């Protein structure tokens, strides 16, 4: 069950932190010197070694970055379908775009696992928690967006992460505390149980 959240508007999404660009490392060769004097002894020249452009590629993040504080309490795990993994990938990609890195992705994926098991839920009729929808069970009536927006994985992830980004020191908070700052759940400790699996999911989809 949620209480009223900070309204997420399109304007808030403009406040995206610029991502660090993975550049190309160039190996510089020596610059040729002036021509030798005509009477100088001949100098044997060898062909310069070929240089290559080093491609900087993403590597899987280490667990100490994904789970810097260790897990809290008993951990749960579920089997995931291709659609659920695709939703986790959308969340992870959004964390990258917003400059929130591996830790932001883990917090967001774990939150979605608790709220919807990474399923993009529509209205569940009598089983619905008020008007909660989507991966993060966000509510249109609380200012999260329209039903169409909330059920778009990228929009929903951006809405959650943009609010998380406004929490002072979110990177250093235990996962369940960080998630609760945004979700204001009636069960604030429930997010912690998904941290281990969320970390492995993010680690797996990070470079895909």
Is 41 a domain residue?
Answer: no
Is 47 a domain residue?
Answer: no
Is 154 a domain residue?
Answer: yes
Write the CB contacts of 45 (distance below 8 Å, at least 6 apart in sequence).
none
In the chain, the number of structural domains is 1
Is 26 a domain residue?
Answer: no
pTM to 2 decimal places: 0.71
Predicted local distance difference test score (pLDDT) of residue 34: 39
| Regions of the chain with pLDDT less than 70 | 1-58, 123-129
Contact assessment for residue 189 and residue 176, using Cβ atoms and an 8 Å cutoff: yes
Provide the residue range defining the domain that includes 184: 10-21+55-205
Paired residues of 54 in beta bridges: 25
Write the CB contacts of 63 (distance below 8 Å, at least 6 apart in sequence).
199, 203
Predicted local distance difference test score (pLDDT) of residue 134: 95
Is 16 a domain residue?
Answer: yes
Separation of CA 148 from chain center: 22
Predicted local distance difference test score (pLDDT) of residue 59: 85
Is 117 a domain residue?
Answer: yes
Look at residues 123, 92, 93, 122 and name the one whose alpha carbon lies nearest to residue 106: 92
Predicted local distance difference test score (pLDDT) of residue 125: 65
Structure tokens at 120: 């993009």
Write the CB contacts of 188 (distance below 8 Å, at least 6 apart in sequence).
176, 177, 179, 180
Is 164 a domain residue?
Answer: yes
Structure tokens at 1: 């069950």
Express each pLDDT in 149-189 by its tens digit.
999 999 999 999 999 999 999 999 999 999 999 999 989 89
Predicted local distance difference test score (pLDDT) of residue 130: 72
Predicted local distance difference test score (pLDDT) of residue 149: 97
H-type helices in 67-146, by residue range? 82-97, 101-116
């Amino acid at each position: 069950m949620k209480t009223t959240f900070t309204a997420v508007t399109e304007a808030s999404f403009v406040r995206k932190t610029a991502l660090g660009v993975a550049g190309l490392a160039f190996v510089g060769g020596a610059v040729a010197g002036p021509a030798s004097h005509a009477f100088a002894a001949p100098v044997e020249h060898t062909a310069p070694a070929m240089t290559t452009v080093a491609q900087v590629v993403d590597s899987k993040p280490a667990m100490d970055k994904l789970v810097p504080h260790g897990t809290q309490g008993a951990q749960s795990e579920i089997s995931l379908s291709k659609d659920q993994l695709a939703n986790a990938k959308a969340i992870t990609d959004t964390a990258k775009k917003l400059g929130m890195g591996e830790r932001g992705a883990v917090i967001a994926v774990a939150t979605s696992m608790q709220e919807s098991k990474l399923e993009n839920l529509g209205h569940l009729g009598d089983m619905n928690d008020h008007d909660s929808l989507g991966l993060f069970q966000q509510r249109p009536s609380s200012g999260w967006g329209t039903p169409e927006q909330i059920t778009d994985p990228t929009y929903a992830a951006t809405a959650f992460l943009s609010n998380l980004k406004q929490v002072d020191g979110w990177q250093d908070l235990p996962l369940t505390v960080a998630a609760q700052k945004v979700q204001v759940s009636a069960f604030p400790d429930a997010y912690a149980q998904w941290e281990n699996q969320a970390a492995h999911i993010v680690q797996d989809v990070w470079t895909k």
